Structure 1
Amino acid sequence: MFQKCKEDEKSKFYPCVVTRCGHPWTVRYREPGGRTGRQREQSFDKKGPADTFSAKVEREKDLGTYIGPTGLLTPLVAVYREFIKSGDRVSGTRYQYETSLRLHVEPYFKSQPIGAVKAKDLQAWLTWMVDERGYEESTAINRYETLSGVFSFAVANDYIMKNPCHHVRTARRRAKRRAKKTIRLPTLVEVQAIAQNLPGPYRLLVWLMAGCGLRIGEASAVSLQQFDFEAGTLYVDRQITQDGENAEAQTKVQKAITKGRGRAHTIRHLKWRDRDEGRAVPLPRTIATKVKEHIKRYGTLRIEKGLNRMAGDYLFANVGRTNILMYSLVDRLWRKARTAAGITTRSITPHWLRHFFASAGLSKGVPVTDMAEWLGHRDPKITHQTYAHVMPDAPDRLRTVMDSVFNLETELALPLEFEALVEAG
């Protein structure tokens, strides 16, 4: 630490002979790495702050927590892009992150350095998304949690020392508690009416969603190889999504479509599941009959393994039966069928059929743990919280069961002893 006015001939104050001259103090130091570390300088108006800074730098170098100024000055948007490219993420997740960056992060933070983002800035950003952009609080919170992951990535890669999102955690919990979701169900009559008004080759989609709980992307990707008619199961391990890899763009139109927005349709493994991981869903006999009738009447479309494709004999295809079923076609056919069925007051979506499946099973006493497995929920709590309104009341069921036992209305056939796994300790 020194004063340039007394030691540096290039200083405009040199030579200065006054003991307490009031000229700036300079801290000269090396970044970690010994002699190979980059030499840096920082000036202060007074000696006290210069002493404090010098001690801080040496302490951080000893503890291994030193962050260079170049990291702090890196734009948040640039770090976000690096975060997206890192790790083994499925295409759908990568696409969601890119969309959030383009729509929520870049328009607000612009070129702001990551080291300059404070907790108050993040709180203002949450408010901006809700008040200015019109997003639900739950949506804003989801975007915030992704950004928190970006800051954690920045900490791990020595851009910053602390994650500023940690100081907004209380607000995040409060917003999550307020978030509620309305679950809407179609009637059986409405389900039948929509199926009847869909073109013949696509009616089975309705029954796979309403009778097996499939999502629209999963139903669209069903292949003959997934059925075990003898065991009465449908193995769900793939889906069609619009987040595939784009082939190399050749024309101006293709380049415009693929510039971070339009993505190719793809058949891929289920999101968040390993390559060999799926779920076996019970196949009702009524649905199995419809599947066999569909195959007999319309056949299947053979798809070979390739870019954005998984091999299989698929039950659904485009109108010309030359390619896989696209979302745009399903949406157009669905809207027409709903209108033709005379359903004008309720905007029934394909996802309502999945809710129909879950609610029907749970209302008739199917265990929530089994239903969670067949729906593809990682945690049965999700299933219980979503569909608790249609589940039979557990205390009433228990009282009925025990009363029937003690009144000798039900005969128990229980073993006198059995082995169970328990935690030791």
Structure 2
Amino acid sequence: MATVWQKCRDGYPKRTDPPCEGPKCGHPWTVRYREPGGRTAKQREKSFPRKKEADAYASKVENDKNEGVYLDPKRGAITLRAWAEQWLGQIIVGESTRRNYEGFIEKWLVPNIGRKTLSGLTASDVQSLVNKMHRSGLAASTISDRLNPLRAMMRAAIREKRIADSPCEGVTLPRRGTSAVGEDEIPTLEQVHAIARNISGQYALSIWLMAGAGLRISEALGFSVDCDRGDFLRSRRQVSSKANQGDCRTRLVPLKHRTEDEYRDVPLPPFLSAEIEAHIDQWGVTDVEGFQVLFAPRERGKGTMPTATTYGYHWRKALEAAGLTVLVDGKVKPLFTPHSLRHFFASTALGGGVPLLEVSRWLGHRSIKVTADTYGHLTPDAPERFRTVMQDALRPALKAVAS
């Protein structure tokens, strides 16, 4: 059992000074207890300014031992910085996810709360971190995503009995705005054609891969001969300049939200098959990491593959030439981004009556909710189609009942 006493009075285990005789001497109260394991278990002490607090802690320690939830204080004494490093070494995630986690830890977690211990980290500490990210201009959805590794770290600490509860619980996040795409963010068919006409010839196919198959720009630039499967397109790689050694060399990495052996199939319309063939006839292919890629440096075998960043130069020049720019704070900026072509793909498919679930799979979203929140409003004729379907389905039944 835990014992509560004052060293200044009881002299345990040895007193060298005269004992205090007053009823309230002001010296601390000590709780001495054993960790779980019986008489051979390690003894620990903790001091409190008042006897009431010491008695409460003594009761808690004994209750925790009886219920099997006792936590060794030393296990929670590791700093968050050290725990983050240890946690990163244990988890199994894709390379792009790992880089995102490392970026959050290096830029936000370590500079702000990295010196805190696991047991000393509080909800107010996490709230301060959230507030700082919000003040920096990060979107609410981005802040929530950035906290995912911290939440996972705390869950791992609980599993290892380093802490009892997660300090991430109860933290207030900024309110998310709507993720729905505005109609002015979606280029028209004429505008898509204008961009394709004005972009550098070697990248014209990228416009159709994004607008006609919904590929992300990094996925389009990672397109290779084996992606063309006849009636469908199989996307399983994207380009990245941040992978592995961090030497800024462009590499092929797994798709977003996917592992190395996962892929995404998208129906391949005939016009896009023809565009792929025409591109290969004119520009050829280049062997990169064993894959015959369609987008490569102008000088074959030299330099690195293009990335979303280097592609941006050609994108801006194309929109300027097509007159698709806008003046913002005195600067000319493109009216659309490459991602706008994915919006075109989704809105065109949904407007043509393609089920939301199929569009979600072809876009490679993590869940259909993401697709619904982003594009669900782009099917204004859905109510009318529903009324027609239900009328046609129930009219025979109503006639049968009447007869």
Please report the TM-score for the alignment, with normalisation by the length of structure 2: 0.84
2:218/2:307 contact within 8 Å kept:
no
**Residue 317 of structure 1 aligns to a residue in which SS?**
coil
1:201 maps to 202
- Residue 202 of structure 1 deviates from its aligned partner by 1.6
Indicate yes or no: 2:280 matched with 1:292: no
1:318/1:329 contact within 8 Å kept:
no
Counterparts in 2 of 1:123-134, with a 5 A limit?
123-131=127-135, 133-134=136-137
**Residue 27 of structure 1 aligns to a residue in which SS?**
strand
- Residue 356 of structure 1 deviates from its aligned partner by 0.5
- Residue 403 of structure 1 deviates from its aligned partner by 5.9
Aligned to 1:108, which of 106, 112, 121? 112
1:144 maps to 147
| Matched residue type, 1:149 | A
1:349 maps to 337
| Matched residue type, 1:387 | Y
| Matched residue type, 2:175 | A
Indicate yes or no: 2:48 matched with 1:44: yes
Unmatched runs of 5 consecutive residues or more in structure 2: 327-333, 397-403
Indicate yes or no: 2:292 matched with 1:316: no
**Shift in alpha-carbon separation, 1:228–1:32, aligned structure 2, 3 A:** same
Partners of 1:370 and 1:163 lie apart in 2 by: 38
1:74 maps to 78
- Residue 225 of structure 1 deviates from its aligned partner by 1.1
Query: 1:312-355 deviations in whole A, cap 9, x for unaligned?
Result: 21111123232433333212222222222222224311111111
Partners of 2:144 and 2:369 lie apart in 1 by: 20
Partners of 2:82 and 2:269 lie apart in 1 by: 51
1:100/1:143 contact within 8 Å kept:
yes
- Residue 120 of structure 1 deviates from its aligned partner by 3.0
1:92/1:271 contact within 8 Å kept:
yes
Partners of 1:31 and 1:405 lie apart in 2 by: 70
Partners of 1:321 and 1:37 lie apart in 2 by: 69
Partners of 1:347 and 1:86 lie apart in 2 by: 44
Partners of 1:65 and 1:406 lie apart in 2 by: 60
Query: 1:242-270 deviations in whole A, cap 9, x for unaligned?
Result: 34110xxxxxxxxxxx5xxx655331222
1:340 maps to 321
Indicate yes or no: 2:345 matched with 1:365: no
**Shift in alpha-carbon separation, 1:36–1:333, aligned structure 2, 3 A:** farther
| Matched residue type, 1:245 | N
Aligned to 2:363, which of 347, 361, 375? 375
Partners of 1:243 and 1:156 lie apart in 2 by: 32
- Residue 166 of structure 1 deviates from its aligned partner by 1.9
1:318/1:326 contact within 8 Å kept:
no
Unmatched runs of 5 consecutive residues or more in structure 1: 247-257, 305-310, 409-425
Indicate yes or no: 2:171 matched with 1:189: no
Aligned to 1:91, which of 95, 114, 126? 95
Partners of 2:394 and 2:152 lie apart in 1 by: 56
| Matched residue type, 2:255 | L
Partners of 1:44 and 1:388 lie apart in 2 by: 58
Please report the TM-score for the alignment, with normalisation by the length of structure 1: 0.80
1:157 maps to 160
- Residue 374 of structure 1 deviates from its aligned partner by 1.4
2:180/2:373 contact within 8 Å kept:
no
**Shift in alpha-carbon separation, 1:396–1:103, aligned structure 2, 3 A:** same
2:29/2:54 contact within 8 Å kept:
yes
Q: What is the RMSD of the two structures over their aligned residues, measured on CA atoms?
A: 2.9
- Residue 152 of structure 1 deviates from its aligned partner by 1.8
Indicate yes or no: 2:57 matched with 1:53: yes
Identity of aligned residues (%): 37
